[in-house]
Amino acid sequence: MDRMLVVVFDNEAKAYEGKRALLQLDSEGSISAYSYAVLAKQADGKATIKQGDDSGPLGTLANTAVGSLVGLLGGPLGVAVGATTGALVGSAYDLNNARVGDDFIDDANKQLGPNKVALIAEIEEDWTTPVDTRMEALGGNVYRRSLSEVKQTQHEENVAALKADVAQMKAEQAKASADRKSKLHEKINQLESRIETQIQKAKERRESAERQAKAKVQLLKTKADAARAKAS
């Protein structure tokens, strides 16, 4: 089952140990780790990605569920990132792309207080004991949530609502005075621009989901091939 994992530690050293333990579980075949990052909250509440350039088999964090969750956990002050992870910022605050409920984000944020450090990862696991045992031994508090399916519903509903507004304004425009026609024309142009933006976002999300799905399939195939080669 694909899950989002947030493990909160008291310091960076423990978080890095947690990351190494996660990767060891992956190499053992206990789980599959698709994408991960280490996020630290400073005393003033600012968040910093400590390790985001090494983001796992899916590559860059941009447009991944982990990337979006990192941005959401960064809070209103945002996330400080280096040049190698700069691509993350654009999609960091998309709740739908994080594919977890806002209650999970609230719970994780409550635990990820000042001077705390979190290991955030998208993983596949058949049972929870391997991860929990390793992380708890390191003093980590584990929070997980199954990932929801990638859906286009919200963008489709937004586009439908915007098109309804455009249709109404065009109907009004046909009967309006010259001055009113001009104002309506401007508003229609703005709405049509928003429609194009929503359509583009839906396309990007669909393409991103397809790329990630292919990457996961390839990763699992590579692991299976390696296991067969080792057994033969």
Instruction: Give pLDDT tens digits for 185-211.
Output: 888 898 898 888 878 877 877 777 777
74 vs 119 pLDDT, higher one: 119
Tens digit of pLDDT for each residue in 117-167? 999 999 999 889 999 999 999 999 999 888 776 555 566 766 788 888 888
The model's pTM is: 0.67
Average pLDDT (51-76) is 67
Does 60 have pLDDT greater than 80? Answer: no
Confidence at residue 3, expressed as pLDDT on a 0 to 100 scale: 86
Does 86 have pLDDT greater than 50? Answer: no
Taking residue 162's Cβ as centre, other Cβ atoms within 10 Å add up to 19
91 pLDDT band, cuts 50/70/90, is: very low
63 pLDDT band, cuts 50/70/90, is: low
Q: What's the token pair of residue 52? A: 């985001």
Does 19 have pLDDT greater than 90? Answer: yes
Q: Provide the strand spans (E) within 24-153.
A: 31-41, 47-51, 79-80, 117-125, 141-146
Average pLDDT (57-84) is 62
Measure the CA–CA gap between 118 and 40, rounded to whole angstroms. Answer: 6
| Triad 214, 216, 221: Cα angle to 5° | 95
184 vs 204 pLDDT, higher one: 184
User: Which residues on adjacent β-strands are paired with residue 9?
Assistant: 117
Does 9 have pLDDT greater than 90? Answer: yes
Amino acid identity for residue 135 in this structure: M
Average pLDDT (178-183) is 84
66 vs 148 pLDDT, higher one: 66
Confidence at residue 75, expressed as pLDDT on a 0 to 100 scale: 57
Q: What percent of the chain has pLDDT over 90?
A: 21
The H or E element spanning position 172 is: helix 153-175
Measure the CA–CA gap between 211 and 206, rounded to whole angstroms. Answer: 9
91 vs 105 pLDDT, higher one: 105
Average pLDDT, the chain: 79
| Highest mean pLDDT, choosing among 57-71, 76-90, 128-142 | 128-142
